[in-house]
Every structure is written in C-alpha cells, then in structure tokens.
Copies of this chain bind each other. A is one copy, B any other.
Amino acid sequence: KLRPVSMSDVKLTDGFWSPRLDKLVNVTLPTMYNLLEETGRIDNFRVVSGRVKGGFRGILFNDSDVYKWIEATAWALVNRRNDQLIKVLNDVVDIVAEAQLPDGYINTYFYHRLGERYRYLRQSHELYCAGHLIQAAVACRRSGVCVRLYNVALRLGNHIVDVINPSGLLAVDGHPEVEMAMVELYRESGDKRFLEEAVFQIESRGRGVLRNFRMPGSWDAGDEYFIDHKPLKDLREVPTGVHAVRFLYLMSGATDVVMETGDKALWEALSNLWVDLTGTRMYVTGGVGSRHEGEAIGEPYELPNDRAYSETCAAVANVMWNYRMLLATGDAKYADIMELALYNAALAGISLDGKSYFYVNPLANRGWHRRQPWFDVACCPPNIARLIASLPGYIYSTSSDGVWIHLYIASEAKVNLNGGIVELKVNTDYPWDGEVKVTVNPSKEDEFTIYLRIPGWSRGGKLLINGVEQGVELKPSTYLGVKRTWRSGDEVILRIPMSIELIASHPHVLANTARVAIKRGPLVYCLEQVDNPGVDVWDIVLKRTCRLEAKYVENLLNGVVVIEGEAYELRSQGELYKSLNDIRLSLRSIKFRAIPYYAWANRDPGPMTVWVPLIDYYGG
C-alpha cells in the first residue's frame, strides 16, 4: 500500500538523531570495524581467499556481523559522506567477495567443512548469514557507495535458489532472515525466482522440516523455538518459548512476502500474531522476549522487569516488522509500536558515546548491568547500528494519493509524487516537544494528501494550516489526511501536547502489580540512582496526587527532558518475609527525577527501575 521514500532523498536536520548519525559514522562504525578485525571475523574471509593462513575463528554465524556492519555503513554513508569509511567499506567488500566459491556459496565456517554444507540448517545459520550478505549488498547498491557486492549477492541468491527449492532440497534455516533478503533481492533485480524462494521458505516452515537438519551435539530447544511446529498460516498465537529474534525476523520476512503476493491467509496469521504479541507479550518499552532461557518470548503477560531479556536485536526486529506492517496497510497502530520500540527498547541498546551496547535490556536493575563494547555473539551492536543508519528511510512514505509522515524527525525530503516532486521540510523538537511544522513545496501546484500520523499516545491537539486552526479532531493512532491543493510555502502545524502519563498494566502482568510507568510522548522514563541521591530508587513510590513536571536539561545526557516531581520514600522492614501486622510502613516526602529509559547506564552505576509503585493504585 505504501512505498518507501529513498533514503538519499531524506536529509535529517534534527537535534536528536542527526548527532547519533554523526557518531555512528565517526565513532561506532570505525570502532566496530576494528573489533571485527581484532576478533578475526574479517580474517575468516581472508583465510578462505588464501590471503591469511589459519582456520576459522569464533562462532559459526560470525560472518553475519561483518555483513551487518557493511549494511550499516552503506546506509550511514548515504547521508554522511566520509571518504575514509568508504575506503574501509570497499576493502571489506573486496575481502568478502574474494571468499565466494565458484558456485556462489559463501560461508567462512562451512568453507572448512564443505561436506556439511546445508546439512545442519537447524543450527548452521547458513541461510541466515546469506540473508545478511544479500541485505548488505542491496544497501550498498542503493546507497551507491559500493555496488559490486550486489553481484556477489546475485550469485549467492541464485545458488540458494538452485539448491533449495520445491524440486530440490526441502529446507529452511533454523534462524529466519533469508526471507526478507530474498524479497529485497527480488525487488532490486526484478527476478521472480527470488520472491518464489522467499515464498518457499515461508511455506515450508512449520512442518518439522528442521528435524532433518539437526547438528549433532548442539543444544536444541524444540520445534516451537524455531517456529517449525506449525505452518505459519495456522498460527493464531505467538508460540510460548519461541526465540524472539527468530520469530520477529520471520514475521518481517513474511510481511515482505505478503506485500508482494497479497497472500490473504498469510496476512491473516500475521495480523493475529501481531495482536497477540503487542497485546500480551511486549514490554512497555516495545521490547520483546521476556526469558533469558532460550532468549525467548514467554507466556501472555509474563513480563518480568529485573529478568527481562528484551534483547536489543529483538527491539530492532520489532521496529523492522512494524515498519513492514505499516507499509502493507497504512495503519497507524503499527507506526505506534515502531516508534515505541525505536525510542525505547532499541535505542537503549547503544551507549550515548556510541561505543558500547546492551544485549539484554532489563526494566529494573540493581546497577551491575552495564553496556559492553562487544560480545562473543555480537548480533546486537551492528543491528542497532544498521537501524540508526537506515532511520531516514523510516520517516516518509508515499501512496498513490499522497505523502505519509510516520516519524516526526526534523528533516527535509524530496518526494516523487505523480510525476512531480514535493519538497517537505519538517521542523520539530520531537521527541521533546509535540509541535511539528511541515512546510510544503510542490514543484507545481497540485492536489494530494499529506497523511500526518496522530500518535497513539496523544490526547487532543490542534492542526493549523497556514496559521489557521482547523476544526478537526486528532484521533489517536490514526493518520490525519490533509487533502488540498498544495502551493509552495504552505505550512501545516500539528500541535500535539506532550503530557506526562502514568501507565498501568493488565492486572495479569504479575511484575507490575500496583505499579506505574512514567511516559511522555513516545518516551518511557526510568528512575536512575545517580539522579536520586539519598534514597534507593527501588524504594521510591508515587501517589496519584504527586505533581510531576517535564523540564529540558541541556547539559544532561546530551540534552534530555527529565521528569521531576514529588514522591515518597517507602520506609519498610528489612526482612524477607514478615507478618503484615508486624510491619510498620512509613513514607518520607522526597523529590525525584526520572530520565528517558534509553539513556540509563551512561553514568555512575546504580539501581534503576521503570515501574514505580503507586500507593493509591486502587483509588486510595
């Protein structure tokens, strides 16, 4: 239904994401490249081409980290020219290209055991790695910074299509990913066989086919974990115990397939699964996956805070899936979740200095959980990098009748519409302020619609066109279509108040009984110890009457709106269990400060919590 606007036609001018894109290019991607070298991930490719002697180093899916770095770098370079990084990128691509085998196969782990190729797909991640290579190649080609990886991807894609197909090997990968990649390769090349391969992967899954591809001696979590217990079209609920990232990558790939095929049964399943996931198994931050055990999604309402897994990759994948659902429908509910996961669960995955990462994103902690510069399983760092790098592509879309604005990020865009070009200039201090000014400059006077997203979190608000307030209701979680004949210089102002909201959970979320989360606009807040001296933030409680206010603090955490106000310190007993009759609870009046969740753990370590007890939760 919606078509993306090319990233090269979007220029960020904002104060929130632009500095992050700068940091990505100047800090994150170069340091990540060094780590790829230090950990042997790039040498693994050099070993295959004979430029370095040795064997494979690391874990069998390490190639994918290199590919995700390539993808992130390619996207980042679209809007941030950096000759040094372009050179490094091209060198890495050359090294990768040289490791491709004559038949198109490329995998630096299985190169050393070619007899095992495609035999252990339950655990081997071969198509997963291939998918990341293809996505990287598409990014390189679209960005124009390094087009020759595309040929490698085409050869690899053709190889996969030749081997794994209805009359060939009946196989899927234990870790979905190649589905998205194949659809993209189809879009880029126009070659229908790649789309058919994606359809074949989606259709073949869920029939226990992975049982034939078990790697001896490797850990195995059961068919649900791999979403191989039931065909996707038969799923109505998220399988409890499914690996969160596997699930969300599969959903993303299936949504890509639906966009190209219009498969109604598949859409039905996706639609139901989305309702179940976001309605019963998602953190208030947009994070997904509540279990450390198996990095898995738990039961409905199983959402512990201290033991949240909420992997950064799953948050990134949640953004990716919802973006695709949004493109397929134009339904604002998907944009709401996309925005939520982006600004909270995903963004928390990277430090403010751009050099360290969370794999796990708890919503409460005693202070020991800190971001790390790298991981043995290093999926998350390049994943959050490629999300930030590609963010300009998430802001706008077009449909046959107009332009859509999904994310309010100050930026300039050139949009092709019905043969003409419309320039849009968005000004806003989002996510700190809900006023958005859109200046419209069509290349010629033309009638079309500008679809403005009215966020699900909004309450009230106004629309002004050329300074004149319009008598329209801003309905939360919809797109407001402003249809008119646009002239150069027309100005639309969306004035959405950002109030501080206390959020409560479904009562079956046992972890959040009588607790509230503080939210303002798209941002979820947390209480961090360093801002609240003299009281353990785990002992801070609120009352409904506590006055809270939002305040922008420029020199804090690169500039954030904090929430400050009245609260109480709960003074209680020190024993683990005690008869209620023997406990004397007392409250001490205090002031507290909350910061955006994404910014926690960037200063002195200490306790943190998102959900705060509300002592008159039930009405007092």
Contacts and interface: CB of A to CB of B under 8 A. Distances in A.
Contact of A279 (B510, B517, B576): B576
Contacts of A576: 278-280, 282, 301, 505-506, 509
A615 interface: yes
Interface in A285-310: 291-293, 298-299, 301-302, 304-307
Interface residues of A, number: 62
Contacts of A511: 304, 510-511
Interface in A1-16: none
A299 B580 contact: no
A507 B572 contact: yes
A306 B508 CA distance: 11
A366 to B, nearest CB: 7
Nearest to A278: B576
B219 A219 contact: yes
Given A293-B293, A502-B580, A510 B574 contact: no
B515 A578 contact: no
Nearest to A281: B576
B279 A575 contact: yes
Given A291-B292, A293-B293, A304-B304, A366 B299 contact: yes
Contacts of A492: none
A578 B503 contact: yes
B516 A284 contact: no
A573 interface: yes
Interface string A296-327: 00110110111100000000000000000000
Interface string A498-533: 000111111111110111110000000000000000
Contacts of A366: 299
Interface in A469-489: none
A515 B579 CA distance: 12
A577 B617 contact: no
* Chain copies in complex: 2
Given A293-B293, A304-B304, A570-B507, A579 B513 contact: no
A305 B510 contact: yes
A102 interface: no
Nearest to A584: B619
Given A511-B510, A513-B613, A579 B304 contact: no
Contacts of A513: 513-515, 613
A581 interface: yes
A541 B508 CA distance: 12
B506 A574 contact: yes
A538 B508 contact: yes
Interface string A362-377: 0010100000000000
A579 B307 contact: no
A522 to B, nearest CB: 13
A286 to B, nearest CB: 10
A191 interface: no
A570 B506 CA distance: 11
A508 B293 CA distance: 23
Contacts of A292: 291-293
Contacts of A503: 577-580
Given A506-B576, A507-B572, A615-B618, 14 more contacts: A217-B217, A293-B293, A299-B366, A302-B306, A302-B307, A304-B304, A307-B307, A364-B510, A502-B581, A505-B576, A507-B539, A507-B570, A509-B576, A514-B514
Top 4 A-B pairs ranked by shortest CB distance?
A514-B514, A615-B618, A502-B580, A292-B293
Interface of A: 217, 219, 278-280, 282, 284, 291-293, 298-299, 301-302, 304-307, 364, 366, 501-511, 513-517, 538-539, 541, 544, 570, 572-581, 583, 585, 587, 613-620
